[in-house]
Every structure is written in structure tokens, then in C-alpha cells.
Amino acid sequence: MGRYALLVGCCYLGDGNELQGCYNDVAAMKDLLINSFGFRRTNVEVLTDQRSSPLPPTGEVIRTELYEMIKQAEPGDVLLFYFSGHGIYRDFRGSRGCIREEAIVPCDRNLIFSADFRDMVNGMPHGADFVMIADSCHSGGLIGQTKEQVGPGFRPDVCHASRPYNYGNIGGGRRAKRMPIESVLRHLRPLSHVDSSDIGTLLRDIYGNQASILFRRHVDPDVSVDRGILISGCQSNETAVDDDGKHRRPYGLFTAELYSTLRNLRGPMMSNAELVETIRCKLRNEDQHPCLYCSDKRADAPFLWLR
């Protein structure tokens, strides 16, 4: 059984949407996977948007790396994708009513939506597992059509009012890990040949076949397989917090609690549901509530020990 991980941290330096703790979040996750969960160092790939990074985490790069991992996966393998950075959602209105799609924000704003992650999970070979951990705003539901096991009790793909927040600085050296859609549009318009306020049109024009499949082709909603596990840093209607750490290093609140819980664990390994419930309890005084989305079988399985 092989274990492979792709860890991505985006701080968006120099554009007014900067975060501070995402590089430290990625470093913490790498330490956890290698020293507590038996991942080989050579099987853990790290992508950040630091200026010195040889391969920045653009939408194309992230998708390519994930699809390559899936293509090479064999029965018994565990693939883990971790993301720390901005999150966003978009409501789409059509014949089926209002459908919400959550997304992560790569460094080039080529958004990767929940439909994309559903497509990735559908491509997993039988007997292998895909685990996604997202420390970003609106991260609940990032694997489309996956069953909620721990959460608020509403479908994340249905449009509903998000909780009111100041999505910039939220005081005390903290910042919400949500990039306003207006900021994404401002970034994309100068790169496009078309004059449009529609994000799908802009993404298709700029990135072509590397844009989200949401804007390129039908996504098979079949979820008969249960190999997708999503642990989100907050509900789909909430923000996640990036903290400047005051006298310590900056970090994401969710990642800090995840790391602390698992690094200090003694005794039997926690199940996925127990882990998420524990972190929710630790963050009970915060305005973010981690969630778990997976099958019933995966909810009771030990975290990252799925066989």
C-alpha cells in the first residue's frame, strides 16, 4: 500500500489578499504525514507560491499533479490532497434552481471547483482512497455530492445565505481565508480577450482546457463509489481564519488544531468522525466549524488508516 500526498499553500503575496500562515500550515502537515503517519518523504510533494518556488501552484499545476497521482494509483493506495489558502463559492442559477459550487483559489485564480474534485474522485481506481483536507473559507462540500457525516445538517450544494463577516481583516491579527469574487474578476479581466463579468467566460477564455470542467463539460454525478473523504476547515457558509500568531509563527486555526490533536495523540487512532468532532469542540469559541463528508463506512474508519 502506497501513501502519496500533495500539499499546497498559497499566501497571494503582493496583491492585497495576502495571508500569513499558509506556508507554515503546509510545513506542519508535511511533518505530521512523515513523522506520524508513515508517508515517505519522497512521496510528499509541496507546492507554494513563495517567490523562490520553482513550480507555483497554479490551477493547471494543481490539477495536473492530482490527476497524475490518480492515474498512477493502485488498489490499497491512499492519496491525500491538502490545501491552505483562500476559498470562494459561486451560485449558479439554471433550470434546476440555484446550485452552489465551492472552490479553492490557486495562485493564478484559475479556480478549482467542487465539481472538479468530484471528477477526480470518480477517476480513482477501486480499492484506493482519496482524502482531501481544506483549510479555506467555504470549504464544506468541496468534493461535490459527498454525504455529510459531521456538519450543520444542510446540503452545501444548495444556495443559502452565508454568515455575515467582514471578509478582510477580522481583528486581532486575523484574516478570513476568503477571496471576494470581485477580487478574482479584477485579476482575470486584464488577462482576457473578452469583456465579461461572468467568471466562467473569463476562465475559459484565459485558461482554455485548463479551466474548471464546470465550464467545459458535463460532470458525471455518479457517487456509487465511496472513495472520497473531505475534511473541511469550516462549513460551506463560513470563513476559516488565518492568524498572525502574535509571538509565534502565523498559522490557520483549523490546521493548528488538526496538527496538535494528531501529533499528541496517545492510544488508538481516531476515526475520521471522531477527529472532526474533536476539532469542532476545540474551536467551539470560534466562528468556524470543521466538517466531514464521506460514506458511512469511511466515517468510522481510522484517519489515514483506511485498510
Active site residues: 86, 137
**Cα separation of 143 and 115, whole Å?**
7
Residue with cell 493502485: 74
Residue 23 has phi, psi (to 5 degrees) of: -65, -40
Is 44 strand, coil or helix?
strand
User: CA–CA distance from 15 to each of 25, 211, 235 (Å)?
Assistant: 21, 22, 26
Determine if residue 42 is left, alpha or beta; phi over 0 gives left, psi from -120 to 50 gives alpha, anything else beta: alpha
Q: How many CB atoms lie within 10 A of CB 214?
A: 24
Residue with cell 463528508: 293
User: CA–CA distance from 110 to each of 58, 145, 178, 211, 213 (Å)?
Assistant: 7, 22, 15, 6, 11
Judging by beta carbons within 10 Å of its beta carbon (0-12, 13-18, 19+), is residue 302 exposed, middle or buried?
A: middle
Residue 101 has phi, psi (to 5 degrees) of: -120, 120
Q: Which residues pair with 292 in a beta bridge?
A: 150, 231
**Cα separation of 114 and 142, whole Å?**
4
Judging by beta carbons within 10 Å of its beta carbon (0-12, 13-18, 19+), is residue 282 exposed, middle or buried?
A: middle
Cell numbers for 29, please give them: 502537515
